[in-house]
Chains A and B, each alone.
Chain A
C-alpha cells in the first residue's frame, strides 16, 4: 500500500515538473522557437536555423519538418508552433482561416518540380512522356501534400494524367519520403522539387527537367502563428528568412519570391 502511494506521488510530481519545464518562458536567455516547415525546406532551413542561433545567442530553434498539410493540421489542432513555412499557399490559408491565424505572412521563396531518378536511371526516364511507359514504378507525394498536388497538376497540364497516374505505386506522406523511395532503388522515378537533389545526394540522384510550359511554380509563404508565446522572436525569424536567409535558399536551388 505504501509502495503504491509512493509511486503515485512520484509520478504526479514528475509530470508536474515536466509540464513546468515546458511552460518555462524565460527572457531572451534560453528562449525556444518552434518552426514547422515543409519537408522540402529541411536542408536549407537547418542551415538557416544554425545561422539564426549564432546571430541570437541563447536562442534555440527547433524544427518540425513534414508535409505542409500535416503541419497545418497539427497547428489547427493546437500544436504550439511559433513559425510556419509552407510549400503552398493553400495550407497557409488553412492556418489563417481555420486555425489560430497568422501574422506577417510573406512569400519567401519559389520552387519548381522535376522528375527525380536514380543516377543510373534504370528505367531510362528522359522526359515526362517516358513516365507513361508500361511498368514504370512511379512514386508521388500523397494528395493534399503540396508536392503531390503540384505533380498531379503537372500531369494534367501535360495531358498525361491517365497513363502516368496508372504507374503510381505509392503515395508518400511527404516529398522526402518520395526521394527515399527513389534512393533505395525500389522506385524508377519520383516527382519532387528541383531542390530535393541536395549536394549530398547529387551523386545518387539525377534531375530530369519538366518543360516550363507544363511545370508548376510552387510559392512558399512564411508567417508567425498568431498567439505564439514567442511572437517577437517569431517575427525576427521570419525577417531573417526574408533577409539573411535568402542566399542560403538560393544556394540550395530555391528561386526568389516574386
Chain B
C-alpha cells in the first residue's frame, strides 16, 4: 500500500523527466521568458514568505498562548485560504482590492490613485494569501510545543520579555521557523489560480513560473515540461537542503 502511495507521487515526476525535451532544455530555460519568470517567481515567493512570517508570528503567538472568545473562528479563517480553491482566493482578492469591484480597492483608487491589480504587488498579495496559513500553522505548532516554563526561568534570571523572546523563544523555535518559511515559500512559488485571476499575466511584472508554464502549455507543451522541471527542481532543492537540518 505504501508503495502505491510513493508510485502515485513519483509518477508525474517520472513522466516529466521522460517527456522533457532534453535537447532543447538549455535553450528553453535560458530563454527570456523563462529567466524573467524565474526571477519574478523567486522575488515574489521570498517576499511572500517574509510577509507571511512577519504577520503570522504575532497571530500564531495569540492563537498558541492567548485565550479569547472566537479563537476557533479566527483559526478557521486562518486555515481558509488553504482549503479554498486558489481561483476563489483570487476572486476574493478582487472583491477586496479590485479597482472598481473591491471594497478597499475602490477607496485606494479613488482617493490615492493606487491600483493594485495587474501589478507585482498583486502577485505578492496572491502568493502571500495562500501561503500565510502554512506559516501560521507551523509557527503555532512550534509555540505550542515550547515549554513556557523556560521563559519563566529566563525571567527569574533577570531577562526582560524582549530579551526572552530574542534569546530563548526564537532560538528554540528555530526549526519551526525554518519550516514555516520553507513551506510558505514553496507554496508561494507554486501559486497559480489566485495570481492569474487577481494579478493578471504579464511577462516581467506578474508572469511567475507557474503562469509561464500555463501559457507555454497552450502552444508548446514540450517547453512547458521543461519549465515545470525547473520549478520542481527549485522547490525540491530547497526542501532537501533544509530537510536535514530543520524539518525533523
Whole-angstrom distance between the alpha carbons of A52 and B203 in the complex?
42
Q: Are A4 and B1 in contact (CB under 8 A)?
A: yes
The size of the chain B interface, using a CB distance under 8 A, is 25
**Min C-beta distance of A64 to chain B, whole Å:** 13
**Min C-beta distance of B213 to chain A, whole Å:** 12
- Of chain B, the residue at the smallest CB distance from A145 is B218
How many residue pairs, one in A and one in B, have C-beta atoms under 8 Å apart? 67
Which residues between 153 and 196 of chain A lie within 8 Å of chain B, taking CB atoms?
Answer: 168-173, 181, 184-187
Q: Are B215 and A137 in contact (CB under 8 A)?
A: no
Contact with B along A1-23 (1 / 0, CB 8 A): 00010011000000000000000
Q: Is A35 engaged at the interface, CB distance under 8 Å to the other chain? A: no
Q: Is A142 engaged at the interface, CB distance under 8 Å to the other chain? A: yes
Select B215's contact among A139, A173, A181, A186, beta carbons within 8 Å: A173
- Name the interface size band of chain A: 20 to 34
- Collect the chain B residues with CB atoms within 8 Å of residue A185's CB: 98-101
- Of chain A, the residue at the smallest CB distance from B198 is A186
| Interface of A, helix, strand, loop or mixed by DSSP | mixed
- Collect the chain A residues with CB atoms within 8 Å of residue B118's CB: 137, 169-170, 186-187
Q: Are A184 and B101 CB-contacts (below 8 A) given A137-B115, A139-B200?
A: yes
Q: Is A256 engaged at the interface, CB distance under 8 Å to the other chain? A: no
Whole-angstrom distance between the alpha carbons of A59 and B230 in the complex?
44
Q: Are B214 and A173 in contact (CB under 8 A)?
A: yes
Q: Is A144 engaged at the interface, CB distance under 8 Å to the other chain? A: yes
Q: Are A73 and B1 in contact (CB under 8 A)?
A: no
Q: Are B94 and A186 in contact (CB under 8 A)?
A: yes
Q: Is B217 engaged at the interface, CB distance under 8 Å to the other chain? A: yes
Q: Are A73 and B217 in contact (CB under 8 A)?
A: yes
**Min C-beta distance of B24 to chain A, whole Å:** 16
Q: Are B219 and A144 in contact (CB under 8 A)?
A: yes
> What would 7 A/B residue contacts be, using CB atoms closer than 8 Å?
A8-B1, A73-B219, A169-B200, A170-B118, A173-B218, A186-B99, A186-B117
* Given A170-B201, A186-B94: 9 more A-B contacts, CB < 8 Å: A8-B4, A67-B218, A70-B218, A170-B118, A173-B201, A181-B200, A184-B101, A186-B99, A186-B101
Nearest 5 pairs of A and B residues by beta carbon:
A185-B100, A170-B200, A169-B118, A70-B218, A144-B219
